[in-house]
Structure 1
Amino acid sequence: MLSRQELALIGVTMLWGTTFLIVQNAVAYSGPLFFVGIRFLIAGALSILFFRRAMAGLTRAELGAGTAIGAAIFLSYSLQTWGLQSISSSMSAFLTALYVPMVPLLQWLVLRRPPRLMSWIGIVLAFAGLMLLAGPDTGAGTFGPGEVATLFCALATAGEIILIGHFARHVDSRRVTAVQLVAAGLLSLVFMPVMGETFPAFSWVWLLTAIGLGLMSCMIQLTMNWAQKSISPTRATIIYAGEPVWGGIAGRIAGERLPALALAGAAFIVVGVLVSELRPPLRRKRCAEAGG
């Protein structure tokens, strides 16, 4: 039987999967940086409201940690939103999922922690899926700007996860959550003139979508913080691996159709994500034999 926490994370993952299609519709009425900025400022304001008592104890270290994580979130969501202007929500969901096998590679490069065997197998499977997703219509094995931006989005998401893991034990998660959401929103608006993006004409579509996604982002973060107190990171990541599947289902309901080769690549990526988080019982077995 699934616990309440596991059911909650499954619900969160289903919500995540639908956001790809929602964002894709919203950016038809707004530039990507403006939309990301408004979305996260709303989420940040709600977090400050919910955590207003805890915010009084904000430290300089927490401000720095939240800003660093917020910068990674800004890169991740801005690149993903920009990519959604030219690729399908289903393709975006599966490419974004590559952040899971990217994490052990970044840990190896930055923290000098070599990947485990299962991580290597997951990386190989995910890379094979990536090759199948590359140019499925033409068979050319090339990416357009939207796909490339989404790959960098996955890389930024992997960096975000590593940063969260680095700071988690030394900060208050409530205060850092609020800071990172506000930082991501502010950075998005600040970079608008740098990227030549102007403020869009008013539309209820981008406004209501930004408010809805802001509420959703705040609720998702609160649920994750609550559920992962009693669920292992490995178990949680396996649940999160369903995100691109739900994104693909939402896209198909909306009329998107990925070619057969792309669907095979998507399957390879999901399997690679799952395999990279498996823990063989060898070490546990050896410990039991040593104790017996």
Structure 2
Amino acid sequence: MLLNFWSRNAFFRHFSRQEAALLGVTVLWGGTFFVMHAAMAHSGPLFFVGLRFVVAGLVTMLVFRRLMAGITQAEILAGSAIGASICVAYALLGQGLQSIEASKSAFLTALYVPAVPLLQWLLTGRAPHPMAWLGIGLAFIGLLLVSNPGVAAGFALGVGEAATIAGAVVIALEILLIGKYAGQVNVQRVTAIQLLVAGLCALAAMPLAGEAVPGFSWLLIGSAVGLGLVSALIHLTMNWAQQSVSPTRATLIYATDPIWAGIIGRIAGDRLPATALLGAAFIVAGILASELRPRRLARTPATP
């Protein structure tokens, strides 16, 4: 029965290697929140983001050093735009992690799922397919349940929650920027530029934000270098895969991030309440529903 469902369902039958790669880096992404949360006890958000992405950018440039000689002005502009969005997004996430738990940060960050089609609609005037809207709606309900298990007590946002949600909106912009430039530029060169620009922007913003350089910590250095390597892999994969994967479909794959964060969190000692588990089920349902195309709706050309 399961094999029959797998073979008939379009989502699984047409799951390409690019989408499988996006799913793989999404699992890695889910684990980065816990590492970053630990590092925030030893550093301000801008310094950590700066060190992390400078390492990622330099490593990527080293790996693709032969290709970097052919860099173009268009690639510099594309990498700079994406890099600036990365800097702002992760600085906000780092600020949020100073006052909220890593698992809650992961769940709130996933609010970029409904933000992507909304921004895409705002910027391009192209609304998603009706079934994609249904999937996004289900995912949004799931994210509310996961991020706010005590729904009955009311919903209130602190500074950490607000910063994290703002970061999620900027991540949605980053995804759209990657989708815009991915088919027009060299993926390797743009990835190196965007990572390095993100790190340099964060370090340059430290004096403006009044953030001091923290004292030496092996945990801080190890976390920054480790996440720098992971960041290089994640962003290179995103840029490569989104040459053939639409922003909406990519976003729905990224929407599994809270599930992986929840699994990793449980291994680390976190225990999700029943409402959070229900929210995870809504997210999975949203991902599957978004790929269904009933015949009546299929007559209308779908917008990615």
Q: Which residue of 2 aligns with 1:115?
A: 128
In structure 1, C-alpha distance between the alignment counterparts of 2:243 and 2:181, rounded to whole Å: 16
In structure 1, C-alpha distance between the alignment counterparts of 2:257 and 2:147, rounded to whole Å: 20
Amino acid across the alignment from 2:282? F
CA RMSD of aligned residues (A): 2.8
Following superposition, the deviation at residue 112 of structure 1 comes to 1.1
Listed as ranges, the gaps of 5+ residues in structure 1 are: 288-292
Corresponding pairs, count = 286
Q: Which residue of 1 aligns with 2:9?
A: none
TM-score of the superposition, structure 1-length normalised? 0.86
In structure 2, relative to structure 1, the CA distance for the partners of 1:83 and 1:128 (3 Å cut) is same
Following superposition, the deviation at residue 68 of structure 1 comes to 0.6
Within the alignment, does 1:19 sit opposite 2:29 as a pair?
no
Q: Which residue of 2 aligns with 1:40?
A: 53
Please, which of 248, 264, 280 is the counterpart of residue 293 of structure 2? 280
CA contact (8 A) 2:110 2:143 kept: no
Following superposition, the deviation at residue 165 of structure 1 comes to 1.4
In structure 2, relative to structure 1, the CA distance for the partners of 1:266 and 1:84 (3 Å cut) is farther
Within the alignment, does 1:66 sit opposite 2:79 as a pair?
yes
In structure 2, relative to structure 1, the CA distance for the partners of 1:125 and 1:5 (3 Å cut) is closer
Within the alignment, does 1:139 sit opposite 2:184 as a pair?
no
Q: Which residue of 1 aligns with 2:166?
A: 152
Q: Which residue of 2 aligns with 1:264?
A: 278
Following superposition, the deviation at residue 264 of structure 1 comes to 3.0
TM-score of the superposition, structure 2-length normalised? 0.83
What does the per-residue CA deviation read over 1:243-263, in whole Å, with 9 as the maximum and x for residues that have no partner?
Answer: 221111111222223433344
What does the per-residue CA deviation read over 1:97-125, in whole Å, with 9 as the maximum and x for residues that have no partner?
Answer: 22222111101111111232123223332
Q: Which residue of 2 aligns with 1:290?
A: none
In structure 2, C-alpha distance between the alignment counterparts of 1:91 and 1:162, rounded to whole Å: 24
Within the alignment, does 1:83 sit opposite 2:83 as a pair?
no
In structure 2, relative to structure 1, the CA distance for the partners of 1:229 and 1:165 (3 Å cut) is closer
In structure 2, C-alpha distance between the alignment counterparts of 1:274 and 1:196, rounded to whole Å: 45
In structure 2, C-alpha distance between the alignment counterparts of 1:145 and 1:273, rounded to whole Å: 30
Percent of aligned pairs with the same amino acid = 58
Please, which of 10, 31, 44 is the counterpart of residue 44 of structure 2? 31
Q: Which residue of 1 aligns with 2:8?
A: none
Please, which of 199, 211, 236 is the counterpart of residue 225 of structure 2? 211
In structure 1, C-alpha distance between the alignment counterparts of 2:187 and 2:139, rounded to whole Å: 31
What does the per-residue CA deviation read over 1:109-161, in whole Å, with 9 as the maximum and x for residues that have no partner?
Answer: 11111232123223332343344356534712112121111111111111011
In structure 2, C-alpha distance between the alignment counterparts of 1:144 and 1:77, rounded to whole Å: 18
In structure 2, C-alpha distance between the alignment counterparts of 1:183 and 1:274, rounded to whole Å: 36
Within the alignment, does 1:105 sit opposite 2:104 as a pair?
no
Amino acid across the alignment from 1:210? A
What does the per-residue CA deviation read over 1:39-74, in whole Å, with 9 as the maximum and x for residues that have no partner?
Answer: 000000011111111111112221111111011111
Between stretches 100-109 and 229-238, larger displacement belongs to 229-238
